[in-house]
Structure 1
């Protein structure tokens, strides 16, 4: 995947072609970088498994092979100057997209197998256990958003033999006004936002746990494994809620940066709930300060009187 990323970066610099208003090599570059992060995260999680390593190895191999084939097909279509996703213009384009859909389904099933292994595994640290379990489940949900994109839009349903079936955007055509860098639709909904946010839970939740562990020497309360566990559970629940909100917003055809009052109210309630849950998670007995002086030894409960001195 690193090789695909380098090739795509070179293509962005050397190839001035565009597709749907963006440099034609931007899609394979973003996919390659995302697959690198995804693969490294899965490899780390698989290294934590105490059992089922053989099954995990096969599942990881399937995910890797499916990812590589997906990247090869995207790159092939870029070289041909054709749209890779949703393209039904020719029989060859349709066949390429069908194979891509199959590889995504296989990749998702491989990731599901890994998530099941993580759910069944026993970890020494409960916070680590739930960070990897919940992040893998949220990432699965994020990947599943991609299946919503292959649905034909109302305009495509009304057309006769449309060349494109499916879209990233909701309420506006793909290739319209977009946010810088990401290319997400700026005048309508875009399912790629929730797709991106959900899949990268695989990196962000474990990174949060690593940050909590690193801060524990400076903040003794974080040294309590129960508090770290509660914070991880709170973060995962909030992350899942934000993912659901982004999906709902996109499906309603609402631009990310122009939310309706309903979306803003929901986001405010979510933020308030997260703050309160975080404060409750941090509650607990304060760490006992170490005494600066040793405690005096207790007096003997029944001191013996001094023995009388006998004189001859």
Structure 2
């Protein structure tokens, strides 16, 4: 994926073709960079599995996930070279076959990730904060990936057509390829399911990042060395992150742009922010001197 990302950079520099309102090499570039982060994070999480049996199942699941990811990128890049839309494309039998194959690889990838998440849920990881950071983030990432299954559902306009060239869409309430945000291309005129998809999947990196920051600050702030305090902060951050993911999906499904939230969206966002601030303040309170310093994961 790292090599493919470099190839895509070359495509962005020297290939001026545009597809669905974006440079044609933008999609494989974003996907390959995302898979780099995804693969590195999963490799670290798999290293936390104790026991020979769990490690063996984790190895096979990771291998299946890697092969499915590679197949997905080969199919996407094939369509880029052909100058055709990869996702939702049913314009010709060949395009439809490639899109169906992509759907199958995504299902395999999702199931492999689910197996890894279950393994992490059952694993006895000594540091409780680490245990719950990897458990929660892996399941939120699975939910984020599942948003992709919503995208492939035909829109009302497509259902009204006898044989539509495309089936499914990123955007809600507006056609794909309309005005979008810089870099991401997310719609600025309607809902966009890619936002929740992206935010959910990258819980795999961002929730454990909270723990890494706390651990890095522990030598300077003695209170952060307490594993119970780190666990409380991780749980608050995970709850706020999960709620934000749900809010982004809800906002997109109602056809609301990310940067033009309505009243209900703002109210929900305010509630999440208030919870995060209050929860973090409570989590950072000084622990009882008589409380034990170390706990094992349940």
TM-score bucket of the superposed structures, by smaller chain: over 0.9
Query: TM-score, normalization: structure 2?
Result: 0.95
The answer as to whether partners of 1:32 and 1:71 remain within 8 angstroms in 2 is yes
Q: What is the Cα deviation at residue 286 of structure 1? A: 6.9
Q: 2:136 & 2:264 partners in 1: Cα distance? A: 28
Residue in 1 aligned with 2:295? none
Stretches of 4+ aligned residues off by more than 6 angstroms: none
Mapping of residues 275-294 of structure 1, within 5 Å: 275-285=277-287
- State which structure, 1 or 2, has the greater radius of gyration over its C-alpha atoms: 1
Residue in 1 aligned with 2:269? 267
CA RMSD of aligned residues (A): 1.0
1:224 aligns with 2:226: yes
Mapping of residues 118-267 of structure 1, within 5 Å: 118-267=120-269
Mapping of residues 53-68 of structure 1, within 5 Å: 53-68=55-70
The answer as to whether partners of 1:191 and 1:250 remain within 8 angstroms in 2 is yes
Q: 1:135 & 1:256 partners in 2: Cα distance? A: 23
Q: 1:88 & 1:96 partners in 2: Cα distance? A: 9
Q: What is the Cα deviation at residue 6 of structure 1? A: 1.1
Q: 1:189 & 1:138 partners in 2: Cα distance? A: 21
How many correspondences in the alignment?
288
1:42 aligns with 2:42: yes
The answer as to whether partners of 1:220 and 1:287 remain within 8 angstroms in 2 is no
Structure 2, unmatched stretches of 5+, are 291-298
Q: 2:107 & 2:287 partners in 1: Cα distance? A: 48
The answer as to whether partners of 1:74 and 1:84 remain within 8 angstroms in 2 is yes
Larger RCO of the pair (alpha carbons < 8 Å, separation 6+): 2
Q: 1:268 & 1:261 partners in 2: Cα distance? A: 10
Query: TM-score, normalization: structure 1?
Result: 0.91
Q: What is the Cα deviation at residue 160 of structure 1? A: 1.8
The answer as to whether partners of 2:229 and 2:287 remain within 8 angstroms in 1 is no
Report SS of the residue matched to 1:72: helix
1:9 aligns with 2:9: yes
Q: What is the Cα deviation at residue 218 of structure 1? A: 1.3
Q: 2:47 & 2:287 partners in 1: Cα distance? A: 34
Structure 1, unmatched stretches of 5+, are 289-312
